[in-house]
Structure 1
Amino acid sequence: MEVMGAFTQSLGLGPSYKKGELENGMQVMAINCYPPCPQPELTLGLPPHSDYSCVTIVLQSCSGLQIQNNSEWRVVPEIKCALQVHVGDHLEVLSNGLYKSVHHRTIVNGE
């Protein structure tokens, strides 16, 4: 609620924009866990995509996440115990393009 409030506040919509809908259950949570891959050279990982959500919150436990900056892929450094907040497609639409959805991919590793 606080993250969405910060986004809507920055857009001039106020911190409580859509708060009622979110508190009443208009939200979805998906949890993904990617286990170690014993033979990473035999798989592709996740292809480039953006998330359809408003925000994605990532707790990264090893390297493998990459974001696209212009046409170049950059590795997202792992910062222990830090949460990364990624803008999704719905927030890009809500902000009329002010915030851009994060185009990213993951590569597989043995960790």
Structure 2
Amino acid sequence: MKIFGREPAAVLALFAILVKLAAAFGLDVSADVQASINAVAAAFMGVFIAAVTRDGLGAAIVGFAQAALALALGLGLHWSAEQQAVVLTAVTLVVGMWDRTQVTAPVPASAVNKPTVTPVS
């Protein structure tokens, strides 16, 4: 898979360098916030790749939500651990409910061998 003719890792590396350049030339953020911004970018890329390949989208969305919350906390969001847990639980629940509608059994129910009970004599 290519993005702008490049591998996703190359695009992420470019983004990380652009964040560092912005911080070096005027963007007033700490190293922790830079790391959080790059984590959100990586999580977003994970969601994008999962959507394109149709593989593991739910897990990628939950990871993105975790990274976005970490960035928000780094930028000054003042939520307690309980509030964070409730929000991430809600995200996980919604994703799980959506995943359930997307999953199908690899074989039809009629193909599963049902155990037979042997009468005891």
More helix by share: 2
- Same fold (TM > 0.5): no
TM norm structure 2: 0.26
Give TM-score, length-normalised by structure 1. Answer: 0.27
- Which is strand-richer, 1 or 2? 1
Which structure has the bigger radius of gyration?
A: 2
